[in-house]
Structure 1
């Protein structure tokens, strides 16, 4: 992907936190930094980053998409706090086996999946 000033600025925002952020939140952070990047450009760059597996995306209960820079080249799942958005990358060998087994039993191949587990973290419960 071509590196542009806008893409670099958006990636810097994504790299500054391990939490999921909305395009609106990223846009607000860019404005605070006095970066001249339009909201449409933010959405376009985020989609390009998702398509190239540089960023994970998930849809909140209210339908808004959230974005987060993740460990490259490593399949993982997310444990996400509903209250504060704290996100932990987790592996799930049993989930991987289950997905392959279900797919094989139903004649599917080239299987992929996404698992997001939502709950309330220890800090928010306190």
Structure 2
């Protein structure tokens, strides 16, 4: 979901420097992981992946907190209650989410019409928004098929 307008890593380096933060290999690795997964992911998932690269969990957690503060990523609550993180524009394309209440999957959706409504709302806000979230909750088609299959009456009984 990354946009190819500019190199996302170069954009990250610029954001870090402008914010007065050091560019470290650990920060670049965590960012690279987020670019690669292209889905909401938990701190522990990121930390597990980074452990294999020799980066300790506290460093990962501090990096995640920094990325949130700088507007690089946004925290989101998953259906299960876990906090997940994903990249914000310009590091990833802007999108919203469909969340399955049965299996917990989070899927990116395009919501252009809703974007106009949200932009219109921003004019009346008492501050400057950094980002917003819109989630639609329901049952995914895979779960609906599973539900239909288990609810179907048995033939020949």
Q: Determine if the TM-score, normalized by the shorter chain, exceeds 0.5.
A: yes
Contact 1:77 1:90 (8 Å CA) reproduced: yes
CA RMSD in angstroms, aligned pairs only: 2.8
State the number of aligned residues: 119
> Corresponding residue for 1:43?
61
Q: Deviations over 1:75-121 (max 9, x none)?
A: 64333344253321433135416734xx84xxx43353432223332
Any unmatched runs of 5+ in structure 2?
Answer: 1-15, 17-21, 146-157
The structure whose Rg is larger is 2
Q: Does 1:28 align with 2:57?
A: no
Distance 1:47 1:60 in 2: 18
Query: What corresponds to 2:78 in structure 1?
Result: 60
SS at match of 1:56: strand
TM-score, length-scaled by structure 2: 0.60
Q: Alpha-carbon deviations, 1:24-50, whole Å to 9, x = none?
A: 01111223xx21212111111112112
Alpha-carbon distance, 1:8 to partner: 1.4
Pairwise CA distance, 1:57: 1.4
- Counterpart CA distance in 1 for 2:54 and 2:64 is 16
Unaligned runs of 5+ in 1: none
CA distance in 2, matches of 1:109, 1:53: 19
Does residue 99 in structure 1 map to residue 99 in structure 2? no
TM-score w.r.t. structure 1 length?
A: 0.71
